[in-house]
Structure 1
């Protein structure tokens, strides 16, 4: 058996490997910053830069999601997470936006980690497909984010 990249990473797509490499770079880059304020400011710039570099349909949704999340929960700090815009509380990701282009899917995703307080009985959604961020979707995002942070 040869040692090709595909056999070395069997089971992961090229997009998944790229996301893991992005995450490693994010961790490395964050470790180089000195002050908490410097880290927060750079993390937000990184998120805005990532959003600006997205294809138009993803960018339009990501901009609206970013605005809704930061307005609804100012306590959440923007940061990159596996190359995606994410929003963290005390450094731990609560929610994230995944562009459709990221994994070549037909829709973008707004996802929530297990830290999000969205519990409803014994089963509840933790990710939502987005094809467009309408005013109604924006209001729902704000409602979910507020619930997520308690």
Structure 2
């Protein structure tokens, strides 16, 4: 027994496929393939997951256009210089109560001796959108 859940094994398989799907591609071809995969991942979601992922995609596009859309373990994600900065982990992926918007260690959200890097999102509201805009801007040094 590997100790990984079926969902975790599926995520690892998705990550391996993501790497295979862009192998040998460079420049605009790779960027286009990664954007296509990100949009497909968003379009495959339903309900709250779809709403949050679509909102995050719009916010990143508007607030941090330097971030490149891609997928990461099947999650809609956005990277700078190949490093994922922000991603959406849908609730449906692991059959949990809420999806999360997460930020990697490469995001510049530093705020004193302690700060959050993951945010549960249970509803899309104007306040949620504004908070995401601030977080995304800050994540890239804005």
- Scaled by the length of structure 2, the TM-score of the pair is 0.96
Which residue of structure 2 lines up, in the alignment, with residue 4 of structure 1?
A: none
Aligned pairs, how many? 141
Structure number, greater radius of gyration: 1
Question: Which sections of structure 1, spanning at least 5 residues, go unmatched?
Answer: 1-6
2:86 to 86, 95, 98: 95
Alpha-carbon distance in structure 1 between the residues aligned to 2:112 and 2:48? 35
* Residue 103 (structure 2) aligned to one of 108, 112, 118: 112
Q: What is the CA distance between 1:55 and its match in structure 2? A: 1.8
Aligned to 1:61, what secondary structure does the other structure show?
helix
Aligned counterpart, 1:130: 121
Return 5+ residue gaps in structure 2 as ranges: none
Superposed CA RMSD: 0.9
Corresponding residue of 2:8:
16
Structure 1 residue 57: Cα displacement: 2.1
- Deviating 4+ runs (over 6 angstroms): none
Cα displacement (A) at 1:45: 1.1
- In structure 2, the partner of 1:29 is 21
Aligned-residue offset at 1:32: 3.6
CA offset digits 1:59-78 (Å, max 9, x no partner):
11111111011111000000
Whole-angstrom distance in 2 between the partners of 1:66 and 1:115: 19
Secondary structure of the residue that 1:78 maps to in structure 2? strand
**Alignment correspondent of 2:134:** 143
